[in-house]
């Protein structure tokens, strides 16, 4: 009896504790905070200032730390305009004192949204005690972002002259600038200056320098910097650097060296780094390492909690590159059962793979399967399928596919078939089919949208180049009220030249 009573007592205590935990969690979940109001406003055009005013106006307090956290989060999510609005509100309210670091963040946001000139104005308005290395660094970054080379160089020189503490970040910025403007030959000199100023390069410094040699096909220079990096006691080697080197080895045709550094990259990979796995899988696919692609994909699935759409896209692109279409189709089935958010980019990889291999029927079956499931496709993919059928000489199937492509555009202002795609379809029909086939395509186009002059010109040019009779094309062109213009005459004159050459 005592035992039962103790058990019952323990049960009641457990219930009370669990109830407290539940209600505590529920209250935390339901509690409205300023962050919970601003975070969902994902449209960058939405001004968050009214929400701040409303929050304070209803008697809520807002701490500096919370506002700082919101700014950090918005910057991380690339919502810089809203981050600047929060920062501006803090500054103009007069209730918060910015630290030098906060001034630097504000300056960087101004530069990102309004440009370096307004960032300069803000920098010049700061008190001398706020013009720390952070503020100087933020302004330098503004110049680099807008590729203001002379201003960036002058600013770095001023930093040195004023005795501002320099770090690898400033030199990395300058090296990144030279990389962005394709002046990679200047990067090794900046790297040398960094060391001469007593500043130790970090991983990014080495990687930018390695890249500067790689893009200039200087493998010897690349290897020299890589060896220095591996010997540097202050550096912990990372998979990213080895992957960059592997990429340049591959481009230089040094497959065995690429494979060696890829093994090193894998050794340095964080076992739960999905992006890292994707990068290495892509490189192995380019090198034709089928077994390594399958091995790494299996590892990624085992160690990562959940494979995202980007992971499925990457593995399927790699398998298609390796001509492993059936394996790619198997992965597609895995994705379908993963309950990930539907994204047409995922199945389109296999569909395009089938089309490019001439397996148009399989591509069409997959598209029909998606339609049966109520999943969206695009006009472009059906037009591409039509082109695939044209290449195979299967005109009836091509016309049916093109009809679907146009039907997906019907009545929509947003969804349009690119003129370049239409012209390519007409070009292929002109090359592989008859005038009757071309006329059928034009009639389909008429039913969906106005046919443009350049489309007729593309068709006319193909007929001329192929030595085919052009009267029919000119006839349907005139029926659409397109008279012969200078470009038309130019195309037709080349027809006369071809006839003359045959004589």
Q: Got the DSSP string for 81-130?
A: HHHHHHHHHHHHHSS-PPPHHHHHHHHHHHHHHH-HHHHHHHHHHS-GGG
Q: Which residue has the higher pLDDT, 395 or 28?
A: 395
In a domain, 202, yes or no: yes
Per residue in 477-503, pLDDT tens? 888 889 988 888 888 886 555 454 554
If phi > 0 it is left, if psi is from -120 to 50 it is alpha, else beta; for residue 115 that is left
* Range from 3-7, 106-110, 460-464, 481-485 that averages highest in pLDDT: 106-110
Could you give the CA distance from residue 47 to residue 297 in angstroms, rounded to a whole number? 43
If phi > 0 it is left, if psi is from -120 to 50 it is alpha, else beta; for residue 163 that is left
199, 210: one domain: yes
249, 287: one domain: no
In a domain, 205, yes or no: yes
278, 254: one domain: no
Could you give the CA distance from residue 156 to residue 263 in angstroms, rounded to a whole number? 39
Using alpha carbons, select from 271, 283, 268, 191 the residue that is nearest to residue 230. Answer: 268
Residue 303's φ and ψ, nearest 5 degrees, are: -95, -25
Per residue in 401-417, pLDDT tens? 999 998 888 766 666 78
315, 280: one domain: yes
With vertex at residue 339, the alpha carbon angle to CA 333 and CA 342, rounded to the nearest 5 degrees, is 80
In a domain, 372, yes or no: yes
Residue that has been written with the tokens 């630290």 in this structure: 99
Cα within 13 Å of Cα(185), Cβ side: 0
Domain boundary among 329, 355, 377: 377
Per residue in 75-104, pLDDT tens? 999 999 999 999 999 999 888 899 999 999
Mean of all residue pLDDT scores within the chain: 89
Residues 289-305 have a mean pLDDT of 96
Residues 21-37 have a mean pLDDT of 60
pTM (two decimals): 0.81
Domain boundary among 360, 377, 394: 377
364, 422: one domain: no
Provide the pLDDT for residue 210. Answer: 98
The domain of 426 spans 411-503
Per residue in 278-289, pLDDT tens? 999 999 999 999
Provide the pLDDT for residue 8. Answer: 40
Local structure of 200: helix, strand or coil: coil
Q: Of the ranges 72-81, 143-152, 472-481, which one carries the lowest mean pLDDT score?
A: 472-481
In a domain, 209, yes or no: yes
Residues 308-318 have a mean pLDDT of 98
% of the chain exceeding 90 in pLDDT: 67
Using alpha carbons, select from 56, 129, 58 the residue that is nearest to residue 86. Answer: 56
Provide the pLDDT for residue 211. Answer: 98
283, 214: one domain: no
In a domain, 85, yes or no: no
Assign 255 a pLDDT band (cuts: 50, 70, 90).
very high
Provide the pLDDT for residue 19. Answer: 40
Assign 252 a pLDDT band (cuts: 50, 70, 90).
very high
If phi > 0 it is left, if psi is from -120 to 50 it is alpha, else beta; for residue 223 that is alpha
In a domain, 348, yes or no: yes
264, 278: one domain: no
In a domain, 277, yes or no: yes
Q: Of the ranges 28-32, 140-144, 492-496, which one carries the lowest mean pLDDT score?
A: 28-32
Q: What total number of domains does the chain contain?
A: 3
Helix %, strand %, coil % for the chain, to 5? 75, 0, 25
CA separation (Å) from 369 to 117, 373, 386, 394, 465?
Answer: 55, 6, 18, 21, 40
262, 335: one domain: no
In a domain, 394, yes or no: no
Q: Which residue has the higher pLDDT, 376 or 114?
A: 114
% of the chain exceeding 70 in pLDDT: 91
277, 364: one domain: yes
| pLDDT of 328 above 90 | yes
Provide the pLDDT for residue 461. Answer: 87
Q: Got the DSSP string for 259-316?
A: HHHHHHHHHHS-TT-HHHHHHHHHHHHHTT-HHHHHHHHHHHHHHSS---HHHHHHHH
352, 288: one domain: yes
Per residue in 189-235, pLDDT tens? 999 999 999 999 999 999 999 999 999 999 999 999 999 999 999 99
253, 349: one domain: no
Per residue in 259-272, pLDDT tens? 999 999 999 998 88
Residues 152-165 have a mean pLDDT of 95
CA separation (Å) from 361 to 181, 346, 376, 388, 444?
Answer: 46, 19, 19, 10, 22
Could you give the CA distance from residue 398 to residue 389 in angstroms, rounded to a whole number? 5
Domain boundary among 246, 268, 290: 268
259, 274: one domain: no
């Amino acid at each position: 009896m005592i035992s039962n009573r103790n058990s019952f007592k323990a049960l009641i205590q457990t219930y009370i504790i669990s109830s407290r935990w539940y209600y505590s969690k529920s209250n935390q979940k339901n509690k409205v905070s300023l962050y919970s109001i601003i975070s969902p406003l994902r449209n960058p055009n939405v001004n968050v200032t009214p929400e701040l005013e409303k929050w304070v106006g209803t008697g809520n307090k807002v701490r500096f730390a919370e506002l700082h956290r919101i700014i950090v989060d918005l910057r991380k999510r690339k919502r810089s305009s809203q981050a600047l609005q929060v920062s501006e509100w803090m500054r103009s309210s007069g209730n918060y004192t910015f630290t030098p670091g906060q001034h630097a963040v504000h300056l960087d946001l101004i530069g990102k949204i309004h440009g370096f000139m307004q960032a300069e104005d803000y920098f010049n308005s700061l008190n001398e005690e706020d013009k720390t290395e952070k503020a100087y660094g933020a302004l330098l970054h503004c110049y680099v972002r807008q590729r203001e080379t002379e201003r960036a160089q002058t600013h770095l020189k001023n930093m040195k002259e004023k005795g501002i503490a320099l770090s690898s970040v400033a030199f990395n910025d300058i090296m990144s600038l030279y990389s962005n403007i394709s002046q990679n030959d200047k990067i090794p000199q900046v790297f040398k200056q960094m060391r001469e100023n007593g500043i130790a390069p970090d991983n990014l410094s080495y990687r930018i320098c390695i890249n500067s040699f790689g893009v200039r096909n200087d493998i010897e220079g690349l290897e020299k910097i890589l060896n220095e990096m591996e010997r540097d006691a202050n550096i912990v080697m990372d998979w990213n650097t080895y992957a960059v080197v592997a990429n340049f080895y591959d481009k230089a045709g040094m497959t065995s060296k690429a494979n060696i550094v890829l093994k090193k990259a894998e050794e340095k990979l964080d076992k739960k780094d999905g992006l890292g796995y994707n990068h290495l899988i892509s490189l192995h696919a380019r090198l034709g390492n089928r077994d390594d692609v399958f091995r790494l994909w299996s590892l990624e699935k085992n160690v990562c909690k959940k494979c995202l759409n980007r992971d499925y896209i990457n593995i399927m692109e790699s398998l298609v590159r390796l001509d492993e279409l059936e394996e790619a189709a198997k992965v597609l089935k895995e994705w379908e059962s993963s309950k990930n958010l539907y994204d047409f980019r995922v199945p389109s990889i296999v569909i395009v793979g089938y089309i490019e291999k001439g397996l148009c029927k399989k591509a069409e079956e997959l598209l029909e399967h998606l339609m049966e499931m109520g999943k969206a496709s695009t006009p472009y993919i059906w037009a591409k399928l039509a082109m695939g059928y044209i290449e195979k000489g299967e005109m009836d199937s091509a016309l049916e596919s093109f009809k679907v492509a146009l039907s997906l555009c019907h009545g929509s202002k947003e969804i349009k078939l690119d003129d370049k795609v239409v012209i390519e379809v007409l070009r292929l029909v002109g090359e592989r089919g008859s005038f009757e086939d071309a006329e059928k395509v034009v009639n389909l186009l008429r039913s969906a949208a106005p046919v443009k002059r350049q489309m007729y010109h593309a068709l006319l040019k193909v007929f001329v180049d192929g030595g085919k009779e052009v009267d029919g094309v000119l006839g349907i062109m005139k029926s659409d009220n397109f008279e012969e213009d200078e470009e038309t005459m130019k195309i037709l004159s080349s027809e006369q030249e071809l006839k003359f050459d045959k004589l």
